[in-house]
Amino acid sequence: MTKPRHRRHGASERKLAFRCAAWACLFRCRRAAHRDVARAWLEARGGRGSAKELRLVREIRTLLQSLVRGEESPAALAPYLDGIGYRPVATDEGLSWSLDASTDELLSTRAVLAWEGLRSNTPGRLRPCANDECTLYLIDRSKANNARWCSMAVCGNRMKARRHYQRRREAQR
């Protein structure tokens, strides 16, 4: 009888990490072919794929990364949120909210709203991976709130192997 495997990260966490990596990779590229892929990515998520939308999403991504790392304060978002509104809409099913922004600002504004939702609903749980070479982030769902890596199988193993190798080298000297 084989023992069942217990995975720390489920399929949804791996998919989230993959999507974040794909997002970072797509928007870092400057070549025309990659810009076309980035525009298609934006369009698949409800955007128009315009140059202004792509620029705004890149800028917001960079700013949100700085916010998560603690390098910037949330006040740095103010220039991007000027003229953005969130208004209630009453329907037969109940109350819903509508985002008032230009079409080029919708995706970047939704990214800011998603960040704010994570920050306020799960304070201290969103943070960058402890591997300095990694550009991914993690949402810590552990009970002790002490997760360090986006993936224990990738970054965690690399960092532990690196420390082990360094300790062995120092012990041999």
| Same domain flag for 95 and 142 | no
- Quick one: how far is CA 28 from the chain centroid? 14
Which residues span the domain enclosing 140? 130-173
| Same domain flag for 44 and 117 | yes
* Any domain includes 137: yes
Per-residue confidence in pLDDT tens, the chain, 173 aa: 444 444 444 444 444 444 544 445 444 544 556 778 888 888 998 899 899 999 999 999 999 989 988 999 999 999 999 999 989 999 999 999 899 999 999 999 999 999 999 889 989 898 888 888 888 888 888 899 988 888 888 888 888 888 888 899 999 87
* Any domain includes 110: yes
State whether residue 142 is helix, strand or coil. Answer: coil
| Same domain flag for 101 and 54 | yes
* Any domain includes 1: no
Q: Which residues contact 50 (CB under 8 A, 6 or more apart)?
A: 39, 103, 104
Distances (CA, A) of 120 to 7, 8, 72, 135, 162: 28, 25, 17, 23, 35
| Same domain flag for 22 and 94 | yes
| Same domain flag for 78 and 24 | yes
* Any domain includes 104: yes
* Any domain includes 168: yes
Cα–Cα dist 26/166, whole Å:
34
Q: How many domains does the chain have?
A: 2
* Any domain includes 60: yes
